[in-house]
Amino acid sequence: MPWDVEPGFGRWLLIRRSITKPEELAFYFIYGPHDTTFAELVRIAGTRWAIEECFQQAKTETGLDHYQVRRYDAWYRHITLAMFAHTYLTATAAGLPKALTALSPSVPARSAVCRHT
């Protein structure tokens, strides 16, 4: 049966309501260790948005989605290089505000979220 779980594991349905639009709901079907706390489930579900944002930025900035799949090894190389480039750009952007702020206090501080603008 699809609802069966291994010993020590459980299933949960987490429903999240938008703060700005209370009528919008997000549903998470969760499978994990039985002793997982509610706070951990909420925290992990919330990290999904940061991960989605990073992938969207990688698509925009490094062409993560610009490939034609013909062979697995070519796809794997493209994805690896695009993600490496995004990591490099993010790490470079994270270090720039400190150096630029010392030169000009008018430069706005950037968020610690994965981004390069």
Using a 10 angstrom Cβ sphere, with 0-12 exposed, 13-18 middle and 19 or more buried, the burial of residue 58 is buried
Each residue's pLDDT tens digit, 15-66: 988 889 889 888 888 888 989 899 998 888 888 888 888 888 888 888 888 8
pTM: 0.53
Chain length of the chain:
117
Q: Are 34 and 12 in contact (CB under 8 A)?
A: no
Q: Is the pLDDT of residue 103 over 60?
A: no
